[in-house]
Amino acid sequence: MAGIYLHIPFCKQACHYCNFHFSTSLRYKKELVAALAKEISLQKEYFNNEVLETIYFGGGTPSLLDQEDIDKLLNHLHINFSIGKNAEVTLEANPDDIHSQRLSDWKQSGINRLSIGVQSFFEEDLKWMNRAHSSAQAVSSLKDATKYFDNITADLIYGIPGLTNERWKQNVDRMIGLQIPHLSCYALTIEPKTPLDKLIRQHKKEKTDSDIQAEQFLLLMQWLEKAGYEHYEISNFAKPGFRSRHNSSYWQGKKYLGIGPAAHSYNGSCRHWNIANNAQYIKSINEGIIPSEKEELTTTQQLNEYIMTSLRTIEGINLEFLHNKFAVTQKEFLKKVEKQIDTGLIRQHLDFLILTSEGKLLADGVAADLFY
């Protein structure tokens, strides 16, 4: 089973923290959608007739697409790929794009999961991040969405300068109260070359505080566990039955195809990524050429990727899989992870190595220490 990701590289305005590929000009939106449809046709042999279990419209802001654009892309996917009956089809949407007619149209088109970029319910936070929606729209979009969709995820950001623990709890409690079954929660990260990075260097915005971020992450885990959410991946929490099947495929090392500028693909042994330039992407696709680069992964690179991704999940590293797939013995790897177990960052449960709450605070560093 495999998945497809479609990158929709348009936004109304630039969030200060974002480092994804996008454009705030919609001038070439129709040409870009046509190019996406053509790339779908060009890539139809990518999976060798494997059945698709997930489709994900990401971005950017996919909710900026007209309904005819979404229908066109889904139609091309059905023509060129074998799609499972119960495939998960996700659309990322911003609160200011959500209203009853659009929700109804999305559902009728075959979208069955929404990912809503709320980030915060406080006006001052939204303005600080330069989000396009208001606090009122954040609330109304979720209330409206639950009338049409059962499977909804929403994003929240913590560690924003000025976000107290009390206000952070209000954000989380609001999501719980609205009965949103899946939450993706991220620490605010200062990415190089973003507007936020520049504003902080110019002393126009406050730096983040890693101690406050760690505290808010620990509180988040406590609150959501108490509310019945499963912490199944470092940044992701779900009520039973509502894990993201698409994102889980990344962490499980399944194959996926990325369609669109800057989109990434993985076929099990090699990675591809498309050019991050809308005009050049459109030109190349119109000439029948997929403008991508390719990297063949060595066995060691695949092993290290497995360590990194599996350690982020609730299941953790499977020692039996390490032995069967990479010829790494249990004795060898347990020796390698001895320090992390002794310091309380990792615990062993049967044949699995799992991050503790303290280990989750240092997940990337713990994984890096275990690389070959």
Which pLDDT tens digit goes with each residue over 198-247?
999 999 899 999 999 999 999 999 999 999 999 999 999 999 999 999 99
For 48, residues 6+ apart whose C-beta sits below 8 A from its C-beta are: none
260 is a domain residue: no
Tokens (6 digits) for 322: 């390490």
355 is a domain residue: yes
Which pLDDT tens digit goes with each residue over 289-348?
999 999 999 999 999 999 999 999 999 999 999 999 999 999 999 999 999 999 999 999
The confidence score (pLDDT) of residue 148 equals 98
The confidence score (pLDDT) of residue 66 equals 96
> How many other CB atoms are there within 10 angstroms of residue 180's CB atom?
21
- Are residues 246 and 321 located together in one domain of the fold? no
- Are residues 317 and 245 located together in one domain of the fold? no
228 is a domain residue: yes
- Are residues 182 and 54 located together in one domain of the fold? yes
**Positive or negative: CA dihedral 40, 42, 46, 50:** positive
Portion of the chain with pLDDT greater than 90, in percent: 92
Residue at which a domain ends, from 251, 271, 293: 251
Q: Number of structural domains, the chain?
A: 2
48 is a domain residue: yes
- The angle subtended at Cα 12 by Cα 10 and Cα 15, nearest 5°, is 95
- Are residues 228 and 358 located together in one domain of the fold? no
C-alpha dihedral (121, 124, 130, 132), degrees to nearest 10: 50
Between CA 317 and CA 297 the distance in angstroms is: 20
- Are residues 239 and 362 located together in one domain of the fold? no
296 is a domain residue: no
Can you say whether residue 308 is alpha, beta or left, with left for phi > 0 and alpha for psi between -120 and 50 degrees?
alpha
- Are residues 334 and 211 located together in one domain of the fold? no
147 is a domain residue: yes
For 58, residues 6+ apart whose C-beta sits below 8 A from its C-beta are: 5, 6, 7, 8, 90, 92
Is the predicted pLDDT of residue 22 greater than 90, yes or no? no
Residue at which a domain ends, from 208, 224, 251: 251
Question: How does DSSP assign 303-336, residue by residue?
Answer: HHHHHHHHHTBSS-EEHHHHHHHH---HHHHHHH
Which pLDDT tens digit goes with each residue over 57-69?
999 999 999 999 9
The confidence score (pLDDT) of residue 56 equals 98
* Domain extent for 345: 313-369
- Are residues 59 and 190 located together in one domain of the fold? yes
- Are residues 28 and 100 located together in one domain of the fold? yes
- What is the Cα gyration radius of the chain? 21
Q: What is the CATH number of the domain that holds 13?
A: 3.20.20.70
58 is a domain residue: yes
- Are residues 245 and 340 located together in one domain of the fold? no
232 is a domain residue: yes
Query: Where are any strands of DSSP class E within 152-247?
Result: 152-158, 182-187, 230-233, 236-238
**Positive or negative: CA dihedral 10, 140, 70, 184:** positive
